[in-house]
Structure 1
């Protein structure tokens, strides 16, 4: 199948018009689209998370992983339910398992978290939450911020370097398991400025983080999924994965469909993109990124506010902006079909029919040529990759 693609300038222009249309009448279009997604996926079973033996492993008792795509750990010490962790595989640009979205580890589940990282060959972890908000623990600290080693069960987690910026910390971790000679390198991105159930005041750092991670994924061999987590692993995690996924598609000249992406993600984990403010935020960040191309350096403060918006609960508005970034791509198009809001499907297999999945419009085997003359960053020097303002 030939896929029609567009230049970034064309995608930006069409997407900007769409955002303007959705924002009229106090963001009525955004609200309607988001409401249409309210019940997506909620009928899917969560039996493993409901088991009495697993309840203490859930940070929030009402946020449980769907059974059909939950991450399963290897069984240890013949424990029949030892494979449970509150985490789901979720789709990205090429497969059902491009990402793992999970809750922030509890003190009692840190070993399970690192077991998942080890067994799934994870090399990138993105943490989009602070450890605490006032007196509330949002995520227990499962790695060392300074150089040093911590132990979680059979796993040795050694922080070898940390690049501390004003908004994002990038830590390189060497990981070993007792009895194994091999060592795995994990890059940990820590973005604590995103408030729980809210949106950042300034989107430039978030856009810069997403672009940095996107380039890192492109430059890294696909050994395993990237882990994205916040506190519950649904709202902020879902928004970040949606943004990252559609940035990957736009880079290949494919027009984004945020509603379809969120609908797909919600078939894999509950409440992905938790509220309408976060839904609008994804549109804002994507428009910001399309308008400005590569954005703020992670090592510097925000240089641009991007597309203005009101971050209050009462109103979140996107306005159009002029921008740049018109690197040419091949000219073919495909607009993914949308499911009707009241459409009901009988089983998981039908719900996950590949013909209905947004990511299938760009198979992993289709690689469009690079048009930029800039060299692609390598894994070895990735922490120091600069970004154009």
Structure 2
């Protein structure tokens, strides 16, 4: 049976909000709360209006004790409903429909606000001490898809040592572990980051943030020339400047084995905003995909910004959308973002980023020279339904 789809809109914050200012989510955000029984209201006591009355007014406040106050009834959306919505929402668009939709910013904002964030409740992550490894306290990895470190020191050190704030992300056509979305490394997680690169045999690292944007966004985690990071040795080649991003080849060595990983640093994405044009992002997407295809059996491409959900989500969604257009001549932005949030909550942090994603894919379809005979009117949003939710949206960092 179909119910009306009405979710509480997201709260939009920039990626530079510190963790201390981010609101915590309620523990029961995905559980239905039963409404308390409401007793019949008492008849109000009226004051004497006759002048000169000697009647005393006595206020009985005994019923206002904290134990007698009725709690407010909150309505939340069951977790199963949210997951079903994210799995089934879809809106595939032809190039001309995509072009029309990219210009309808108000409709896109409405569409975006209805996508459940699927953020992780801290109670779901039963890992002692994990907060020391989280850049933002409300941006946590989804337990079902989180990356676990498997090197010997981590496995003997317990749950805290194998923890890293990162998630596997499915790629085009649901291909497993195509990407890893993670936060920008911190001073105390740099070695963990490189262990993940080695463990996953990643061909590429895509960095979409400056090291500092008013406040620190990411620790400098690679050496200018050579350096040691735990049990790994890293050697960096000379950087090549491209249009909007920098490319470095890095050699990772452990004992007698060495591997090559390519580092893409897209630092021209402005803080609190979206890029002025889609060209550099589309070129970066094409460059990273071409490099990935040069490997016979590539590992996951690691993508990070600061929190690992905003600009990271835009890059991954753009990559998947470009492959959809290339292979099917349609792009399903709504479906892409919903699937991303199944793997890592909060992916695509703002309505502006969502609109920029539509615009990016509309421009890519033009580059492909795609045309179609449709009327140009986008298909109606096809979603499952849910009840209103009282759960807070995730803070934007």
**Separation of aligned partners in 2, 1:130 and 1:158:** 21
- Counterpart check, 1:36 vs 2:80: no
State how 1:345-360 maps to structure 2 within 5 Å: none
Q: In the alignment, which of 97, 101, 108 is matched to residue 177 of structure 2?
A: 97
State how 1:132-281 maps to structure 2 within 5 Å: 132-134=212-214, 136-144=215-223, 146=224, 148-177=225-254, 180-281=255-356
Task: Report the equivalent of 1:342.
Answer: 386
- Structure 1 residues 193 and 49: alpha-carbon distance in aligned structure 2, compared to 1, 3 A threshold: farther
Task: Report the equivalent of 2:140.
Answer: 64
**Separation of aligned partners in 2, 1:280 and 1:149:** 41
Report the structure number with the largest CA radius of gyration. 2
**Separation of aligned partners in 2, 1:126 and 1:92:** 15
Question: What SS class does the counterpart of residue 105 from structure 1 fall into?
Answer: coil
Question: What SS class does the counterpart of residue 68 from structure 1 fall into?
Answer: coil
How far is the alpha carbon of 1:143 from its aligned partner?
Answer: 1.1
- Structure 1 residues 266 and 190: alpha-carbon distance in aligned structure 2, compared to 1, 3 A threshold: same
How far is the alpha carbon of 1:20 from its aligned partner?
Answer: 1.7
- Structure 1 residues 280 and 117: alpha-carbon distance in aligned structure 2, compared to 1, 3 A threshold: same
Query: Are the aligned partners of 1:54 and 1:84 in contact in 2 as well (CA < 8 Å)?
Result: yes
How far is the alpha carbon of 1:286 from its aligned partner?
Answer: 1.1
Q: In the alignment, which of 96, 102, 122 is matched to residue 16 of structure 1?
A: 96
**Separation of aligned partners in 2, 1:52 and 1:161:** 40
Deviations for 1:148-188, whole angstroms, at most 9, x for unmatched residues? Answer: 112111111111232123521100000012xx321110000
Total equivalences in the alignment: 286
Query: Are the aligned partners of 1:46 and 1:66 in contact in 2 as well (CA < 8 Å)?
Result: no
The gaps in structure 1 that reach 5 residues or longer are 1-11, 294-323, 329-334, 345-389
How far is the alpha carbon of 1:123 from its aligned partner?
Answer: 1.0
State how 1:293-308 maps to structure 2 within 5 Å: 293=368
Deviations for 1:34-86, whole angstroms, at most 9, x for unmatched residues? Answer: 0110x2423x5555756441111000111000111000001516211211000
- TM-score of the superposition, structure 1-length normalised? 0.68
**Separation of aligned partners in 2, 1:250 and 1:71:** 29
Which stretch of the first structure deviates more once superposed, 54-63 or 192-201?
192-201
Query: Are the aligned partners of 1:260 and 1:338 in contact in 2 as well (CA < 8 Å)?
Result: no
**Separation of aligned partners in 2, 1:341 and 1:258:** 18
- TM-score of the superposition, structure 2-length normalised? 0.67
**Separation of aligned partners in 2, 1:99 and 1:288:** 23
Question: What SS class does the counterpart of residue 207 from structure 1 fall into?
Answer: helix
The gaps in structure 2 that reach 5 residues or longer are 1-91, 373-378, 389-397
**Separation of aligned partners in 1, 2:272 and 2:228:** 31
Query: Are the aligned partners of 2:246 and 2:265 in contact in 1 as well (CA < 8 Å)?
Result: yes
> What is the CA RMSD across the aligned residues, in angstroms?
2.5
Task: Report the equivalent of 1:291.
Answer: 366
Q: In the alignment, which of 191, 194, 197 is matched to residue 111 of structure 1?
A: 191
How far is the alpha carbon of 1:325 from its aligned partner?
Answer: 5.7
Query: Are the aligned partners of 1:22 and 1:29 in contact in 2 as well (CA < 8 Å)?
Result: no
How far is the alpha carbon of 1:246 from its aligned partner?
Answer: 1.4
